[in-house]
Chain A
């Protein structure tokens, strides 16, 4: 019988031969099998390795960069995950300086192999300890080989490109200003809105109605407000000349003070100091719509013949422009808020577009020094156009010749290094 023969002495030899092959095969499988390589789930994960730390470049000494190699168990193919995250502990070395916290702990997610600690004290050495954290416990901790100290750098190297551009523009402004001082004549194109200011004040004088000047709803720390107050001084001078009344409700007390000074200076310049009325330049409210309610109420009651809006405006721009339009005022507006310009264009007779608001002071005074600054701005525009063209050409080249690395590298340098820091 077959079975009996297999169980005979010959079959025993066959079994021994097979066992001689199978045993090493099973051992080999045991070594390479991922199932066998995976430790039981009840054990804690393997420790991360190679923890390194260095001072964060180009900062004020408050940050340290940390890098490490992930735990061998921090792998996405392991389900469920054996590493849920990392625990990074920081301790100051030696006597902690003022403000240096002890026992700082950062909980980081899995798969993260770098971290920037931005809560350091400049000059304080720190030691870090890192461990992987899993559902079954924590790994052994690895510690930094030696303490690392965050240092203050004197220059933020990530912003060098922006610094170069700023220096170029400021240099151009100063150079053209100096040229203008030496008597070099400069041409400035006509700006209809600024030419119309005198006409608007004249109209208000003829009609016997006041001129309303709204210097925006932001404080003096906004350059657009400063530019608006500069325009106010010229409007006030014209109003003083024509003996027209000028009213300036403000939404910030500091703007009120600056506006009072500007109007007082304008009345002095026009030799009409007796006509100056400080109570016409007053504070209303810091609240946006409370201010809007007052100004629109004033417009409806007093019906000013000329309304000027210069500075920073938000949602109130259209409310002002439409109310002014409904009372038949001639309206001139200018703002640095690009999103509000369409509303002023729709509602006002004249609008200062973009940089025209900042050019107004130079245009109105015709002072050589101020005109020189306009030429400097033009040099900045030339630079901006050059950079835009270069960027467009490089981006097109990257698309047309994807294998050519030179334009891709140049584009990366332009957008990432030169312009990225600003």
Chain B
């Protein structure tokens, strides 16, 4: 009972204060305080996450699970990054001649080097995969299967052409008074009217859903995130 009720009461009080602070200026200080509490909790959660990460990967390595090599690389990367950050390895000395006074992110430090030459390139590589995935997803989504898919294909064809020089060149012969019927003109119409109307309808639905779910959390109707198992 207490295991669910106390966390719910904390969530309900914090949520109510944040809503009240939006309308009651004198309560804005309380909102800031709650934000600071969340930051403190999140800081503890970092430790929790770090411990969980280490335990998971150590377990995989010790039991020689399939793919334990990946776990070893993860653990080694984690420990090296943590170590060079905590001990400020390679941090340039500050005015007093001590490297402890400088920032661990200072240019030239080991942490900075890892970020620039290990983390950034790998992140960019994963992000770059998106280009290929967009192509493969578009290939499947834009197939002429039924009426809806055909409409999607036609719309995508116009928008893709309208966003390139080819679209402008292909319809360059259209007189200025009919510019709305060129590929760029049609693209502007589709994106500005049809697409925006659809997006806004979805966003209104999402906003109402957020309000209703927040209310369910505040009133304790939905406590499934607390593990009560009662929905």
What residues of chain A have their CB less than 8 Å away from a CB belonging to chain B? 58-61, 152-156, 159, 163, 166, 169-170, 173-174, 177, 219-221, 223-224, 226-227, 229-230, 233-234, 237, 252-254, 256-258, 260-266, 268-269, 279, 282-290, 292-293, 297, 301, 315, 318-319, 321-323, 325, 336, 338, 341, 343, 345-347, 353-355, 357-359, 361, 364-365, 367, 369-370, 373-374, 376-377, 380-381, 384
Contacts and interface: CB of A to CB of B under 8 A. Distances in A.
A223 B23 CA distance: 20
A321 B227 contact: no
Given A279-B56, A370-B216, A354 B25 contact: no
B67 interface: yes
B228 interface: yes
B146 interface: no
- Listed residue (B136, B211, B230) with the most chain A CB atoms within 10 angstroms of its CB: B211
Majority SS at the chain B contact face: helix
Contact of B25 (A61, A338, A341): A61
Contacts of B129: 319
Nearest to A225: B225
A381 B137 contact: no
State which size class the interface on B falls in: 35 or more
Given A282-B56, A289-B122, A341-B202, A252 B45 contact: yes
B206 A355 contact: yes
B127 A221 contact: no
A258 B199 CA distance: 31
B48 interface: yes
B46 interface: yes
B171 interface: no
Given A223-B210, A283-B52, A341-B202, A177 B221 contact: yes
Nearest to B47: A253
B141 to A, nearest CB: 4
Interface in B134-150: 134, 136-138, 140-141
A59 B25 CA distance: 5
Contacts of A288: 123
Contact of B26 (A154, A285, A318, A377): A154
Interface of B: 22-26, 28-29, 38, 41-42, 45-46, 48-49, 52-53, 56, 59, 66-67, 70, 119, 122-123, 126-127, 129-130, 133-134, 136-138, 140-141, 199, 201-206, 208-217, 219, 221-222, 224-231
Given A290-B122, A293-B126, A358-B212, 15 more contacts: A154-B25, A155-B25, A169-B211, A170-B215, A227-B213, A234-B224, A253-B46, A261-B227, A265-B227, A289-B127, A361-B222, A370-B231, A380-B211, A381-B205, A384-B204
Contacts of B214: 223
Contacts, number: 218
A174 B215 contact: yes
A282 B60 CA distance: 13
A318 B226 CA distance: 30
Nearest to A62: B25
Contacts of A177: 219, 221
Given A319-B133, A358-B212, A377-B209, A256 B23 contact: no
A220 B45 CA distance: 12
A263 B38 CA distance: 24
Contacts of B66: 301
Contact of B52 (A163, A229, A253, A265): A253
Given A152-B26, A229-B224, A254-B45, A169 B52 contact: no
A300 B19 CA distance: 43
Contacts of B29: 60
B25 A322 contact: no
A233 B231 contact: yes
A318 B134 contact: yes
Given A170-B211, A254-B42, A355-B205, A230 B24 contact: no
Nearest to A357: B209
A419 B140 CA distance: 41
Contacts of B130: 315, 318-319
A323 B126 CA distance: 12
Contacts of B212: 169, 173, 358, 373-374, 376-377, 380
A264 B227 CA distance: 6
B18 to A, nearest CB: 10
A253 B29 CA distance: 27
Nearest to B218: A170
Contact of B140 (A219, A254, A269, A346): A346
Contacts of A60: 25-26, 28-29
